[in-house]
């Protein structure tokens, strides 16, 4: 069985494993106070062109999301999110479990929020006809770059979100669990330096982009940096052997590895998408990144699933199902060839 269901089916990029092995018996201080973490932070700050920012390493994605949100918000404040945002759907209510409401806004199939939506929500709260204290105060905007459905925000879209957030005193936070695939996507014009310039906080995902695990949190707003170390510890995100996180990001941000492996995954994803389209299958959501979403007749899907794992996404109608097809830094080209061949065969039967 070949897995195309997600981008965390393998371990880590071989260069990471190599580094871990080479340093395995070294003694270092715990809790991320080692030189590998220092070096990795330095590399990330350089990539972000943001010397005033602070970088922190946490283990997982849900964890880093709720830790940042809880640490930033006061009890009566909430976070605006697209309805399909990961925090709103697939984190078992972790944000609410820290006491904060998610103010979910409708979004199209791309899973993106617009500056106009944020403006409307903030204006209704702070300048509306109702006394605001009876409602949750919006204080943060959460987006994903790329989104749950693989779309990316352009630099112009991010700038518009940045502006509206400044206007209403909101923090802009971008979940970058798949940041590498976004940065290297076809048509992407927002760099890490743009993210650092436009967001108060964002993450750079390791787990889905070559590491065994690990997410880097980049906090550019000094208000969010204060006491963030306490927050990491309190929320269970502080790894005793913290160097493991530093080591991995050090390898990923040396010699452009993070970019190279993600770009390759994107390229393979485009090939699969092209094969789907050319053979008569409908795109469910347009994506320039490593996740592709296509609608298959159930019979065709059953046939393909004898050999491949995809992610179920939605029952579109009686007889059709949308699935996610994922590549990653670890995807083998030969498996992509085989899949394309089988998509062709399936298409021929339509």
Burial class (CB in 10 A: 0-12, 13-18, 19+), 223: exposed
> Minimum CB separation from its own copies for residue 235, in Å?
7
Query: Under the criterion CB under 8 A, does residue 162 sit at the interface with its own copies?
Result: no
Query: Under the criterion CB under 8 A, does residue 30 sit at the interface with its own copies?
Result: yes
Q: Please choose, out of 44-52, 92-100, 146-154, 166-174, the segment that lies near its own copies by the rule CB under 8 A.
A: 92-100
Q: Which positions from 3 to 22 touch its own copies by CB under 8 A, shown as an x/- string?
A: x--x-xxxxx-x--x--xx-
* 3 state DSSP class of 133: helix
Structure tokens at 43: 């590399």
Question: Within positions 268 to 297, which residues make up the interface with its own copies, using CB under 8 A?
Answer: none
For its own copies, which residue of 37, 80, 91, 275 counts as binding (CB under 8 A)?
A: 91
Question: Within positions 298 to 327, which residues make up the interface with its own copies, using CB under 8 A?
Answer: 312, 315
Identify which of residues 109 and 330 has a Cβ nearer to its own copies in the complex: 330
Structure tokens at 319: 């007889």
> Minimum CB separation from its own copies for residue 30, in Å?
5
Inter-residue contact 20 to 234 (CB < 8 Å): no
- Give me the DSSP letters along 2-19: EE-S-S-SS---HHHHHH
How many whole angstroms from its chain centre is CA 199? 14
Query: Under the criterion CB under 8 A, does residue 70 sit at the interface with its own copies?
Result: yes
Task: Return the number of other C-beta atoms located less than 10 Å from residue 9's C-beta.
Answer: 14
> Minimum CB separation from its own copies for residue 278, in Å?
27
Identify which of residues 65 and 188 has a Cβ nearer to its own copies in the complex: 65
DSSP structural state of residue 5: S
Distance CA 311, CA 294 (A): 11
Query: Under the criterion CB under 8 A, does residue 251 sit at the interface with its own copies?
Result: no
For its own copies, which residue of 39, 98, 154, 282 counts as binding (CB under 8 A)?
A: 98
Task: Return the number of other C-beta atoms located less than 10 Å from residue 169's C-beta.
Answer: 11
How many whole angstroms from its chain centre is CA 252? 16
For its own copies, which residue of 76, 197, 264, 267 counts as binding (CB under 8 A)?
A: 76
Inter-residue contact 120 to 49 (CB < 8 Å): no
Structure tokens at 187: 């048509």
> Minimum CB separation from its own copies for residue 263, in Å?
20
> Minimum CB separation from its own copies for residue 333, in Å?
14
Q: For residue 104, which of 80, 129, 132, 71 has the smallest C-alpha distance?
A: 80
Tally of residues, the chain: 350
> Minimum CB separation from its own copies for residue 46, in Å?
26
Distance CA 30, CA 244 (A): 10
For its own copies, which residue of 43, 44, 68, 94 counts as binding (CB under 8 A)?
A: 94
Q: Which helix (H) or strand (E) holds 294?
A: strand 291-297
The three-point CA angle 219-89-77 to 5° equals 50
Q: Which positions from 121 to 140 touch its own copies by CB under 8 A, shown as an x/- string?
A: --------xxxxxxxxx---
Query: Under the criterion CB under 8 A, does residue 338 sit at the interface with its own copies?
Result: no
> Minimum CB separation from its own copies for residue 59, in Å?
5
> Minimum CB separation from its own copies for residue 348, in Å?
27
For its own copies, which residue of 218, 244, 273, 304 counts as binding (CB under 8 A)?
A: 244
């Amino acid at each position: 069985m070949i897995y195309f269901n997600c981008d965390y089916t393998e371990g880590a990029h071989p260069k990471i494993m190599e580094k871990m092995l080479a340093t395995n018996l070294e003694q270092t201080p715990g809790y991320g106070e080692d030189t590998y973490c220092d070096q990795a932070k330095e590399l990330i700050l350089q990539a972000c062109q943001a010397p005033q920012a602070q970088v922190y390493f946490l283990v997982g994605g849900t964890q880093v999301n709720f830790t940042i949100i809880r640490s930033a918000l006061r009890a009566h404040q909430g976070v605006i999110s697209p309805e399909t945002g990961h925090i709103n759907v697939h984190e078992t209510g972790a944000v609410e479990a820290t006491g904060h409401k998610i103010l979910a806004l409708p979004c199209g199939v791309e899973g993106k929020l617009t500056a106009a939506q944020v403006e409307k929500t903030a204006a209704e709260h702070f300048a509306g006809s109702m006394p605001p204290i009876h409602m949750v105060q919006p204080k943060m905007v959460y987006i994903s770059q790329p989104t749950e459905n693989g779309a990316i925000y352009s630099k112009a879209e991010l700038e518009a979100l940045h502006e509206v957030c400044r206007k209403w005193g909101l923090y802009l936070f971008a979940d970058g669990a798949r940041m590498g695939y976004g940065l290297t996507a076809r048509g992407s014009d927002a760099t890490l330096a743009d993210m650092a310039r436009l967001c108060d906080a964002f993450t750079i995902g390791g787990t889905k982009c070559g590491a065994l695990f690990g997410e880097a949190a980049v906090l550019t707003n000094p208000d969010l940096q204060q006491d963030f170390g306490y927050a990491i510890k309190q929320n269970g995100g502080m790894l005793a052997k913290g160097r493991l996180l530093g080591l991995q990001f050090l390898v990923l941000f040396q010699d452009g590895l993070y970019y190279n492996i993600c770009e390759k995954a994107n390229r393979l994803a485009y090939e699969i998408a092209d094969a789907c389209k050319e053979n008569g299958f409908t795109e469910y959501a347009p994506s320039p990144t490593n996740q592709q979403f296509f609608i298959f007749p159930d019979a065709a899907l059953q046939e393909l699933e004898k050999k491949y794992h995809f992610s179920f996404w939605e029952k579109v109608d009686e007889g059709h199902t949308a699935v996610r097809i994922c590549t990653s830094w670890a995807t083998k080209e030969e498996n992509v060839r085989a899949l394309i061949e089988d998509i062709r065969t399936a298409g021929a039967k339509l």
